[in-house]
Amino acid sequence: MKQNSVYIETYGCQMNVADTELVQGLLVEKGYSLTQNIDTADVILLNTCSIRDNAEQRIYGRLGNIKAIKDKDPSKVIGILGCMAERLKKDLIEEKKMVDVVVGPDEYRRLPEFIDDAFTGEKGIGVKLSRTETYDDILPYRENGLSAWISVMRGCDKFCSYCVVPFTRGRERSRSLDSIKNEVKLLSQKGFREITLLGQNVNSYSDNGNDFADLLSASAKVDPLMRIRFTTSHPQDLSDKLLYTITENDNICKYIHLPVQSGSNRILELMNRTYTIEHYLNLIEKARKLIPSVSFSTDIISGFPTESEEDHRATLTVMRQVEYDGAYMFKYSPREGTKAYRMNDDVSEEVKTKRLNEIIDLQQSISLTQNQKLIGKQEIILVEGDSRKSSDYLSGRTDSNKVAIFPKQDNIKPGDYVAVKINKVTSATLFGDVI
């Protein structure tokens, strides 16, 4: 029998990237083959994101292109996975007539069955959320490489007032520590050099009395040459124990992504973030005391309902105080079903854009200053491969996840750690020489 080939395109966060590998693992096990060529694929899947309206609009646009492929060859199966599948459910089949399969994040085990049915002309919808599904027993499909994402928990119980994730991903649940440790072992044997432990709020990880610090420490002990990263931490739950665990293990990166969202206590409360800016800044100070080389990145939303110029200035102030290495910065986007959706979206598009631009400009100048502090210093780089712009140069990353570029040497290959002295920087890249 002919093996049907599957093409998957992934949108959204790293959880989706990890889920795509999971789905690929599942499908390969059921006898499907994977392809990178959308034109020849028998099955076209989009793993989608609902976080902001523009994320969904982009995917609708892409569906339009794919419709042309299906029009030419109606035997092809088109499927939507991920957060949009969960949010829009059967609307996707009824509105977008060419979609055959809609499967949300907790029903991927049924995907092969739905695809098989779709070949016989049946539509399939699986969008039930689960309190227990963690896909603990499924090995994600991974090409050989250096970096891997490991999802350690699913869902989110935080219910920040602007956010769809608790609705599209359901309740928090953790994978078992043993299965994660085994996956790290396997990756280490395959030559991977860096893993990132993933969850919407990793600090809520819990398995048989083990918390996230225990998991991090167990993962770090598997292979001292493997860099361990993690994301995302919620400022309310980041424990002292976690900070100690980071200092105690050389191979846990001294880098924390700690989304602040806003610098104004009034807005933080409306966002249901459950911490104050004082708590947040204390946490940063404590982390810096315990881990002197630690650096931070963040997420910021501009133009949340009722945000005043003064609230906006408070955000800029916090950015200057913390001096983030990097930030993901967004305009507020109202999402149906969330608590903030019932608030009046009263900051005009124009003001949102102006504030976002101020935030981006400020962050760019902070990133540059932060990088300039590294000039003359030595950084340990994990070599990834040729630099994008020239094969005379190699590219890799620092412990703090910054890209570093340096002249190629024959004895240095991807996966090596090299000491590089930084001599030039931009806001996004470091340049140096191997020492």
Residue from the set 88, 163, 243, 404 that interacts with ligand SF4 by CB under 6 A: 163
Q: How far is CA 267 from the centre of its chain?
A: 24
* Nearest approach, Cβ of residue 58 and ligand SF4 (Å): 20
What is the C-alpha to C-alpha distance for residues 394 and 250, in angstroms, rounded to an integer?
24
Q: What are 128's two structure tokens?
A: 């039930």
The CA–CA distances, whole Å, from 91 to 41, 96, 97, 101, 128 equal 25, 8, 9, 12, 15
Report which secondary-structure segment, H or E, holds 247. helix 240-248
The CA–CA distances, whole Å, from 424 to 61, 89, 420 equal 41, 51, 12
Comparison of 280 and 330: residue with beta carbon closer to ligand F3S: 330
Comparison of 83 and 125: residue with beta carbon closer to ligand SAH: 83
* Nearest approach, Cβ of residue 410 and ligand SAH (Å): 42
Q: Are 111 and 123 in contact (CB under 8 A)?
A: no
**Residue 16 lies near ligand F3S (rule: CB under 6 A):** yes
The CA–CA distances, whole Å, from 192 to 55, 163, 227, 314, 415 equal 31, 33, 9, 42, 8
Residue 159 interacts with, from ligand SAH, ligand SF4, ligand F3S, none (CB under 5-8 Å by kind): ligand SF4
299-318 binders of ligand SAH (CB under 6 A): 299, 301
**Residue 330 lies near ligand SAH (rule: CB under 6 A):** yes
**Residue 230 lies near ligand SAH (rule: CB under 6 A):** no
* Ramachandran category for residue 82: left, alpha or beta (phi over 0 → left; psi -120 to 50 → alpha): left
Residue 76 interacts with, from ligand SF4, ligand F3S, ligand SAH, none (CB under 5-8 Å by kind): none
What is the C-alpha to C-alpha distance for residues 164 and 96, in angstroms, rounded to an integer?
22
Residue from the set 164, 283, 300, 356 that interacts with ligand F3S by CB under 6 A: 164
Comparison of 179 and 201: residue with beta carbon closer to ligand SF4: 201
**Residue 232 lies near ligand SAH (rule: CB under 6 A):** yes
**Residue 333 lies near ligand SAH (rule: CB under 6 A):** yes
Comparison of 201 and 398: residue with beta carbon closer to ligand F3S: 201
Q: Burial, 67: exposed, middle or buried (Cβ in 10 Å; 0-12, 13-18, 19+)?
A: middle
Comparison of 9 and 299: residue with beta carbon closer to ligand SAH: 299
Residue from the set 6, 8, 13, 198 that interacts with ligand F3S by CB under 6 A: 13
Residue 12 interacts with, from ligand F3S, ligand SAH, ligand SF4, none (CB under 5-8 Å by kind): ligand F3S
Q: Are 173 and 155 in contact (CB under 8 A)?
A: yes
Question: What residues make contact with ligand SF4 under the rule CB under 6 A?
Answer: 156, 158-160, 163, 165-166, 200-201, 234
Question: What residues make contact with ligand SAH under the rule CB under 6 A?
Answer: 51-52, 162-163, 165, 200-201, 232, 259, 261, 299, 301, 330, 332-333, 335
